[in-house]
C-alpha cells in the first residue's frame, strides 16, 4: 500500500471521527506515515525520519515560533533500554503571513514535514528489537480560526543487529 494511500486513510478516519462532534466542521489532522524497519549496529547511531502530514488548509506552529505565546510543535520519545534517543532534529519553520495577522510573520509547518530522531545503541546493546514510543504535540490554525493543542502517538521499533 503506498504511503499516500495510508495518509489518505488515516486523515479520513481522523476527520470522520472528529466530525462526529460537530457536523460539517473541518478539523485539523496531523498524521504520521508508517516508519520502515530501523536497523542499528551496537555502538552506533541511526537517523530515523518521521514523516508527518498536516491536513490541507491547516498550519501548525514550528518548533520555534516567533512568539512565546504560541505553542511550539514538540515531540517526546522514550526508547526501551538499552537504546536511547540521543536527539531530535526539527525542520525550520516557514515564515508566513495570514489574513488574521497580515503584518506578522509566523513560523509554521504546513503540508509535509519531517522530524529526525537520532537513535543510539550503546556498544554493549544486545541484539533485539526495541520499541520507541512517544507523542507529537501540535496546535493548529487555519486562515480564520485556531484549535486547541492536540497529541498524536508516535511509535516505531528499532532493531539492534550485527554484534
Minimal distance, residue 30 CB to other proteins, in Å: 15
Nearer to other proteins, 118 or 146 (CB): 146
Nearer to other proteins, 55 or 119 (CB): 55
Nearer to other proteins, 37 or 69 (CB): 69
Minimal distance, residue 55 CB to other proteins, in Å: 14
Minimal distance, residue 123 CB to other proteins, in Å: 42
By CB under 8 A, name the binding residues for other proteins: 9, 12-13, 16-17, 19-23, 25, 27, 69-71, 98-101, 104, 106, 139, 141-142, 144-149
Residue that is written with C-alpha cell 533500554 in the block: 81
Nearer to other proteins, 74 or 118 (CB): 74
Amino acid at each position: 500500500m503506498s504511503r499516500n494511500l495510508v495518509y489518505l486513510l488515516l486523515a479520513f478516519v481522523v476527520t470522520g471521527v472528529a466530525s462526529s462532534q460537530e457536523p460539517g466542521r473541518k478539523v485539523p489532522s496531523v498524521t504520521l506515515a508508517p516508519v520502515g524497519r530501523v536497523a542499528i549496529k551496537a555502538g552506533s547511531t541511526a537517523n530515523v525520519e518521521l514523516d508527518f502530514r498536516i491536513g490541507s488548509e491547516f498550519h501548525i506552529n514550528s518548533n520555534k515560533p516567533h512568539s512565546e505565546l504560541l505553542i511550539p510543535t514538540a515531540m517526546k520519545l522514550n526508547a526501551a533500554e538499552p537504546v536511547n534517543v540521543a536527539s531530535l532534529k526539527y525542520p525550520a519553520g516557514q515564515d508566513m503571513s495570514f489574513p488574521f495577522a497580515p503584518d506578522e510573520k509566523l513560523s509554521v509547518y504546513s503540508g509535509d514535514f519531517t522530524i529526525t530522531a537520532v537513535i543510539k545503541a550503546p556498544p554493549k546493546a544486545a541484539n533485539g528489537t526495541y520499541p520507541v514510543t512517544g507523542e507529537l504535540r501540535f496546535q493548529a490554525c487555519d486562515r480564520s480560526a485556531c484549535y486547541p493543542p492536540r497529541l498524536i502517538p508516535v511509535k516505531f521499533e528499532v532493531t539492534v543487529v550485527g554484534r
